[in-house]
Amino acid sequence: MAVREPDHHFVRLVTDEQFQHTAGVFRMQPFIFESGAALPHVDLAFETWGRLNARGDNAIVVCHALTGDAHAGPGKSGPGWWSRLIGPGCALDSEQWFVICSNVLGGCAGSTGPSSLAPDGKPYALRFPLVTVRDIVRAQVELVRALGVNRVAMVIGGSLGGMQVWEWPLLAPGFVEHAVAIAAHAVFPAIAIGYNEAMRQAIVADENWRKGEYYDHGLGPVAGLAAARSIGMLTYRSEALYTARFGRGPARPSEGEEAAVWPPSGGASWPNAHEAFTRPLFAVESYLHHHGRKLNARFDANSYLYLTRAMDSHDIGRGRGGLEPALKSFGARLTLMSISTDYLYAPSTLRETAEMARQCGVDCRYFEMESDYGHDAFLLEQDKIAALLAQPAAFG
């Protein structure tokens, strides 16, 4: 049987000159996953800011985290999730650099994932192949090359985005000048795998998950995804932040509701047992419920399952003889940034990895960001990341 030649092309491009911003979709057909499974085609939604220079060497690749998307910088639709870092005069200056961000393979913000339609016209659901971080990066490399990039000046990202950063120089040798991994280990830690599993259990235990086949039933596993988000939020922020922001303050009642008092006193009739277990009593509970509702409004539960499993796959030494041999073949400058209050990705581990990288011949710098925000500081403390990137050694 004849082997079909790959056909990779752009199926949509929309340019906004006001922001030097382009949004598009890149199609790869076919695409073969690390598992050996193949799809006839996959799409990557992407956005860019700035212009590629004549040499094709001023590109910066930005990689997003678990529930992120390609809209990292400003555009007509509003600011992106890293808009204080991307744009004219910013740390990732779009007047100097060609900044690229794509929605990950397996996601649900324009790229092909389990909610996408298969060739039979029905959502893939669990028929979608399992995805690894390496699959995500291989697809990104194809996109970036198709955009005309000859060399990537920097690849940068935090959390799942940082895991992608770790893989870029190893999957595209000689293509990357500088890798900046924020709040992401070279090997995904056991505690993080455990939390991912707890989040997945919350989703699959929801009767409306229907083994992934919920798209035609009107109601998906909203309770399960909200519970998963609550688990995640408790790991993304620090104890100090939760204490300072909420303490033991009561939940604010909705209009017409009686305020919660716990434990009840003075003959208060509220809460009854059902309400006590389903309605927030404390402000921190309201906060978690709010984030669960927000995520349900924009994210697919099956993508959450697939992408947390992709995170579990992350180990740059896998299939390469271990961490040390992988570092010896890294082939790019490396900057590692930890967050002082990060519960998932301990600064001590990143310090140890930085030292190992230096011993393996990698030009490696290490920084620890002081922050009360916990793991999410890479999204919330953009000024501190900008200060890191402002150092002369960041570029060039």
Q: Which of 206, 342, 372, 376 is catalytic?
A: 342
User: Average pLDDT of 56-72?
Assistant: 98
CA separation for the pair 87, 49 (Å, rounded): 7
Residues 179-209: tens digit of each pLDDT: 999 999 999 999 999 999 999 999 999 999 9
pLDDT score of 3 = 46
Q: Which long-range contacts (CB under 8 A, 24 or more apart) does 293-297 make?
A: 293/226, 295/67, 295/225, 295/226, 295/229, 296/222, 296/225, 296/226
21 is annotated as an active-site residue = no
**Tokens 């009840």 appear where?**
264
Q: What percent of the chain is modeled with pLDDT above 90?
A: 85
Chain segment 211-259, per-residue pLDDT in tens: 999 999 989 999 999 999 999 999 999 999 999 999 999 998 877 777 7
R_g of the chain computed on alpha carbons: 22
Please give the helix or strand (H or E) that residue 247 lies within, else none: none
pLDDT, tens digit, for every residue of 116-153? Answer: 999 999 999 999 999 999 999 999 999 999 999 999 99
375 annotated active-site: yes
Q: What's the confidence (pLDDT) of residue 396?
A: 67
Identify whether the C-beta of residue 99 lies closer than 8 Å to the C-beta of residue 130. Answer: no
Query: Which of 94, 111, 115, 159 is labelled catalytic?
Result: 159
Share of the chain above pLDDT 70, in %: 96
Active-site residue flag, 342: yes
Confidence of residue 267 (pLDDT cuts 50, 70, 90): low
Is the pLDDT assigned to residue 269 strictly greater than 80? no
CATH architecture of 193-305: Orthogonal Bundle (1.10)
Q: What fold, for 7-188+315-394? A: Rossmann fold (3.40.50)
Q: Where are the domains of the chain?
A: 7-188+315-394, 193-305
The pair phi, psi for residue 218, each rounded to 5°, is: 80, -30
